[in-house]
Amino acid sequence: MSVIKNRDGEYISTGESQEVVLSFLYKTVPGRMVLKVLTRPFISKIAGLYMNSFLSTGLIKGFIKNHNIDLKEYEKCRYRSYNEFFTRKIKKGKRVIARDPHAFISPCDSKLSVYEIDEQSVFHIKGSAYTLHDLLDGDEIYKEYQGGYCMIFRLTVDDYHRYCYIDDGTKGDNYFIPGELHTVNPIALEHCNIYKRNCREYTVLNTKHFGEVIQVEVGAMMIGRIKNHHRKHTFKRGDEKGMFEFGGSTTVLLVKKDQVQVDQDLLENSRENIETIVKLGEQIGYKR
């Protein structure tokens, strides 16, 4: 199971059922044969149609029970599909946006790891290696982030799957990179380069207080659909940027050198390969 802490320094255990399934898919020969079938585009399309249909509502009750979802935190709604439930909106006031202009906030609920970007821009996460060059599909802009931070926000199925803008600012177009979909759970990282195989979408955020920040959304196994609301756009801190449909997902922020001082507990945990639970809008650093 993953090693995870909350901001109070308490260790948190993760659900075992998801880990068992992923161990089979990625650590056994039969599992990897099944995975090759599951990740074919036509399977993703069929699964997507099902998850968006009324037929999928039968999955909701069991999911709520198995993952201890507290529906009191979310807007009351009669869900017409599993995806509508999965992307449910949280009640106003349940996530507090840090309004200090110098506070650097988390864009989503997640398990966070933070890494310094070295000259080679190579990162090792739970046994898997990837580069910024690969992550951004060869976009030369990655060179501008030497000495900065790569922040990896891993969402699990029980997290709130909508994400926000981290500051006031403007953005350009989104760049979508198709890929073979795989789960972003750490177990998978022992056998696949996730960021080469997953679909992803990135954009440059021109923020008021932290300069240019690249935000990347990464899809997950099977459906893993990324739904960003805007193309070129002017935004405010805390405005909703988009959502992930069914499937665990990941958001990555790339921050340039000397723009943000990340909170010390996050850096220390990451050095020990411990993910830290953070919530949408929570301060995770401050302007340097």
Cite the active site residues. Answer: 109, 249
CA-to-CA distance for 6 and 203, rounded, in angstroms?
29
Location of structure tokens 């935000």: 215
Q: Collapsing DSSP states into helix, strand and coil, what is residue 166?
A: coil
Contact 66, 241 (CB under 8 A): no
User: What string of DSSP letters covers 44-110?
Assistant: HHHHHHHHTSGGGGGGHHHHHHHTT--GGGB-----SSHHHHHTPPBPTTSSPPP--TTEEE-SSSE
**Alpha carbon separation from 66 to 17, 18, 40, 157 (Å, rounded):** 9, 11, 28, 11
- Three-point CA angle 195, 123, 150, nearest 5°: 85
Location of structure tokens 């990282």: 189
CA-to-CA distance for 16 and 5, rounded, in angstroms?
17
* Cβ density class 116-146: b for 16+ within 10 Å, e for less: ebeeebebebbebebebebbbbeeeebebbe
